[in-house]
Structures are given as C-alpha cells and as structure tokens.
Amino acid sequence: MLLIKIFLEFCKIGIIAFGGGNAIFPILHKEVVENLHWISEQDFLYMVSIAETTPGPIGMNLSTFIGYRLKGFLGALIATIGYDFLPFLIMLFVVITVVKIQENKIYQRFLSAVMVVVLVLLMWAAYLMAKGGFHDFRPYLLSLVAFIAFMKFKKLNPIYLLIICGLIGMFCF
C-alpha cells in the first residue's frame, strides 16, 4: 500500500516539475517533509547537497533517496519511476502527435505564467535552505561568495563551485 502511495505522490510531483530541479525543492519540501513526514528537515537538506553534486537530474535524485528511506530498494525504484512516469507519457504524446506545442497560444500563456511562479519557488527554495540549514553567519557569508562567483565567472562549472564550497565548509564551519 505504501508503494502505491509513493508512486502516486511522485507522479503528482513529476507532473508539476517545471523550471528545473531547484524549483522542485519547495514542492517536495511541502509534501514529503511538512505534510507526509516521510523524511526529516535535516535529512532533506543534506540530501539536497548530495543530489546537486552527483550525476542525474536533481528532482530524480531526491525522489530516489526519499523512496529508499521509506521502503528500501523497491521504494527507491517506485519513487523514481513515479517521478518520471507522467513527463515520459506527455513527451511521448507530443512526439507521436507532432503537435507544435511551442507554437500553441494557450500553452504559451500557460508556460509564461508558470515561469513567473517558478521565480517565487526559487526564492522560497533559497529561503528554506538557509532557514533550515544555516545556524550562524558563516554559511550566509559563503552563500554570498558563491553567488558572486556564480554571477562573475560564467565559465566556472557550477559543480566545481559547489565542491569548493563544500571543502571551505569542511575546514571553516
């Protein structure tokens, strides 16, 4: 029964996953941390750090981890398939029917509005992470440095930036 619940929950999150992995945090956080209590706040935040620095889409990585914590390997598999299931079907539908979804006026209105909401979700994601994870001024300072480096050095691979931040954290926090 729990497996079915896991599958449906991640289906729901997958279909609303617009604007990249980072915009999923607030939604996942609300659902699996606050509403369902499937994972603790602390574990969720650690998992974000892991998901951002390992291969694979961030939302998928988070789904796998949460699924595993709930029901072992089968849970991980079901959560991951659930997360990808509806996007896979939608994409397949678009390819098979050859609808020019990007030229559809209603879809354009839909998408441009959703992307405005994504801005708010991203801001909330940053707020949630800082509020839940930062206990003194040092992580805030490091975030500021990372922000400036991210904006200034366009050629710098974001993963390296995160690893550097991690090493700084190891020695300075």
CB of 4 to another protein, least distance (A): 19
Nearest residue to 167 via CA among 42, 55, 43, 49? 49
Name the residue nearer to another protein (CB basis): 3 or 126: 126
CB of 129 to another protein, least distance (A): 5
CB of 37 to another protein, least distance (A): 15
Name the residue nearer to another protein (CB basis): 4 or 104: 104
Name the residue nearer to another protein (CB basis): 4 or 91: 91
